[in-house]
Structure formats: structure tokens, C-alpha cells
Amino acid sequence: MLGTDIGIDLGTASVLVYIKGKGVVLKEPSVVAFDRDTNKIKAIGEEARLMLGRTPGNIVAVRPLRQGVISDYTVTEKMLKYFIQKAVGKQRFRKPRISVCVPSGVTEVEKKAVEDATYQAGAREVAIIEEPIAAAIGAGIDISRPCGNMIVDVGGGTTDIAVISLGGTVVSTSVKIAGDDFDDAIVRYMRKKHNLLIGERTSEDIKIKIGSAYPRPESVSMEVRGRNLVTGLPKTITVSSEETEEALRETTSQIVEAVHSVLEKTPPELAADIADRGIVLTGGGCLLYGLEELIEEKTGITTMTSEDPMTAVAIGTGKFVEFLSGKRDKF
């Protein structure tokens, strides 16, 4: 195992690691729990996610990335180190080549922070790539052809929308509305409508099980437990998918608006290609029921979700290293 090529999707909600020749080897939530008194890290990943909102005073469970950008540098660095070691194993002679992706609208400073953290975590070379490009490669689109493709990557913290042609982005935008905001919208709705306070994890469960962006043919419902704000006691209520549609309406329409604004800025030739080939959705957020139907209805362009939306960005990031080395050999 000489130099390995690793692709990392450093997401707000989860971190995925792709190793060349092995595929996606690790998928864990990007949560770190540490002890405030000693500043020692207690748990990272899935183990730490279970602690979210359930920790005693001296232990804090945090997400070191907010909206696709590093908000806590040292914790991110430790988390990266942990995930890379977990994925690659201890035995290695050379440091790996790592490509990491960042949302399309980040500043140079934010890019540099990601790069530094990756070097600190033990990389020999770091390539920073933009998320939509990685998502497109991972979704199986041949990005090197002179043909327009529109990709909408709905992640945990940001939604990246881009029109890609000839291996680069032509028009792109990144809105800070994504999976986490769906959760927040559900929390707000439950508080307003049912006087019920629920936690982050409960709202995520609601979103995954019955969340919808578009009316479902038949309604589904689930029981939700939380704290009643009036009595202050735990309470169980039944929530239906129509209610989640109402709760998520504002958030989903903002994503549709962003798609619309990118289409407005697209050069006519590429717009024609997109109308012909459709819009491709990737990222974990696009697993929300009815999101593709909603975008299709509002834009009139066929919309499809890529095969494995969760891992598309990680696979694309890993393949991008190969794409780069292939580019070097050509001329």
C-alpha cells in the first residue's frame, strides 16, 4: 500500500471517505464529543451523534462544520485525522494524496482552512474541488464534454447548484439552505402548531420517515414525542405527511428559487442542453420525498435523482484525483 488516493466529502452532516479501488469505505456523522474540563475528545462520528442533546454539563457534542464551512478548526483537524486513520489503517509508507470538496461559494480563506486541516491530518498533496463538480462526476456524468449539465447537490448545510460544461462550472450558486434547515423548519412548526418542543434528532427522524416536499398520493403519519410547552411534561402526538409538507414549504421553495435563478443566468446553448437532459439531484437532502417532483413542476424540466445520492460527492471527489492525473498525462 504505497501512496493511496483518498477522496473526502467533508460535509456538515456527515463525512464520507472514498479510497481508490475500494469505493466508499467510511460514512460517519461529522459530530465530535469532547470533555470541557480536560479538553479531551470522548467520541467521534456515530458514537458522538447519539450524544447530541443528551450530554451532561462537562461533555459537549458539537458539529465542527456549519453550512459547509469549518467553524471549529482544531476539532475539524482532529476529526479528519481520526477518519483518515480509520479508513486507511495504520500501516503506510507514504502519506496519501487527498482531495477534499468545498461548497461552490466559499472564500479563499475558508478554502485555505480546509487545505491546512487536511495537511495537518497527514496528507502529502491536497486538491480542493468544488462540490457540484464532484457530485457530477459521482453521479456518472461525463463532465469533460462540451455539453451542459445541471446538478443540484442538497447536502446538510448547503445546497450547491451548478451548470457544468467542459469540466468546469459555468454558472453556480450555493445557498445555505439544506437538510439541516429542513430539520429546523420541522422543529419550528411543531413548536408553533402543536406547542411541542422536539430535539434535532427527532425532527431528523420525522423528515426521513414522513417528510415531504410535494403532496403524497396517500398520507403517512408517525408518532412524535417531545415536551409540551404548556404543561412542561412529555407528550406524544401524531404527525402526518401533509403537515410536514406545510412545515417544509418555505424551505423547499427557497431551493427551487435558487435553481430558477441559476437557470436565468445560464447561456442559451447550455440551457437548451439542460432542457434536453434534465436536472440531476445528488446529496442526502434530495432523498426528501417529492423534492424532484417539486423542482420538475416549478421549472418544467425533467428532474431525476442520481443512483446513490448520499455517496455521489465522495465518489466524485475520489475520482477527481484520477481525473486530474489523467489530465496531466494527456499533453
CATH code, 19: 3.30.420.40
> Is residue 171 assigned to a domain?
yes
The 8-class DSSP code of residue 95 comes to: P
CA-to-CA distance for 143 and 138, rounded, in angstroms? 10
CB 191 within 8 A of CB 157: no
Whether pLDDT at 330 is above 60: no
Name the grid cell of 13.
452532516
Instruction: Provide the pLDDT for residue 35.
Output: 87
Mean pLDDT within 226-247: 93
Q: Do 127 and 10 sit in the same domain of this protein?
A: yes
Q: Which residue has the higher pLDDT, 193 or 34?
A: 193
Instruction: Provide the pLDDT for residue 92.
Output: 64
Whether pLDDT at 173 is above 50: yes
pLDDT per residue over 52-65, tens digit each? 777 788 888 888 88
Whether pLDDT at 24 is above 90: no
Q: Do 103 and 226 sit in the same domain of this protein?
A: no
pLDDT per residue over 78-116, tens digit each? 888 888 888 877 666 677 888 888 887 788 888 888 888
The 8-class DSSP code of residue 25 comes to: E
Instruction: Look at strands 97-102 and 125-130 and give their pairing.
Output: parallel
Q: Do 108 and 197 sit in the same domain of this protein?
A: no
Mean pLDDT within 25-50: 86
CA-closest candidate to residue 252, choices 281, 209, 223, 221: 281
Q: Do 115 and 164 sit in the same domain of this protein?
A: no
Whether pLDDT at 328 is above 60: no
CA-to-CA distance for 76 and 7, rounded, in angstroms? 16
pLDDT per residue over 271-324, tens digit each? 999 999 999 999 888 999 999 999 999 999 999 998 888 888 888 888 887 766
Name the grid cell of 258.
435558487
DSSP, residue by residue, 118-160: HHHTT-SEEEEEEHHHHHHHHTT--TTSSS-EEEEEE-SS-EE
Instruction: Provide the pLDDT for residue 264.
Output: 93
Q: Do 87 and 16 sit in the same domain of this protein?
A: yes
Under the banding of pLDDT at 50, 70 and 90, the label for residue 259 is very high
Instruction: Enter the pTM of the model.
Output: 0.84
Integer angstrom CA distances of residue 28 from 16, 134, 283, 296: 7, 19, 15, 31
| CATH number of the domain bearing residue 237 | 3.90.640.10
Residue with cell 419550528: 188
26-35, 43-52, 60-69, 293-302: the lowest-pLDDT one: 60-69
Q: Do 148 and 284 sit in the same domain of this protein?
A: yes
Residue range(s) defining the domain that contains residue 171: 143-177+252-305
Instruction: Provide the pLDDT for residue 89.
Output: 75
> Is residue 56 assigned to a domain?
no
- The strand ranges marked E within the chain are 5-10, 14-19, 23-29, 32-35, 41-44, 59-62, 65-66, 69-70, 97-102, 125-130, 149-154, 159-165, 168-175, 196-197, 221-228, 234-240, 279-282, 303-305
CB 266 within 8 A of CB 163: yes
The 8-class DSSP code of residue 169 comes to: E
Whether pLDDT at 326 is above 80: no
Q: Do 12 and 91 sit in the same domain of this protein?
A: yes
Q: Do 151 and 294 sit in the same domain of this protein?
A: yes
pLDDT per residue over 136-156, tens digit each? 988 888 888 888 999 999 988
Under the banding of pLDDT at 50, 70 and 90, the label for residue 30 is confident
CA-to-CA distance for 58 and 37, rounded, in angstroms? 6
User: Backbone phi, then psi, for 250, in 5-degree steps?
Assistant: -65, -45
CB 182 within 8 A of CB 258: no
CA-to-CA distance for 328 and 298, rounded, in angstroms? 42
Length of the chain as a residue count: 331
Percent of the chain with pLDDT over 90: 37
- How much is the mean pLDDT over the chain? 87
Total number of domains in the chain: 3
> Is residue 153 assigned to a domain?
yes
Q: Do 78 and 123 sit in the same domain of this protein?
A: yes
CA-closest candidate to residue 11, choices 138, 169, 148: 138
pLDDT per residue over 176-205, tens digit each? 888 889 999 999 999 999 999 998 889 989
> Is residue 10 assigned to a domain?
yes
> Is residue 194 assigned to a domain?
yes
Instruction: Provide the pLDDT for residue 1.
Output: 45
Instruction: Provide the pLDDT for residue 200.
Output: 84
> Is residue 316 assigned to a domain?
yes
Instruction: Provide the pLDDT for residue 93.
Output: 63
Q: Do 128 and 152 sit in the same domain of this protein?
A: no
Instruction: Provide the pLDDT for residue 331.
Output: 45
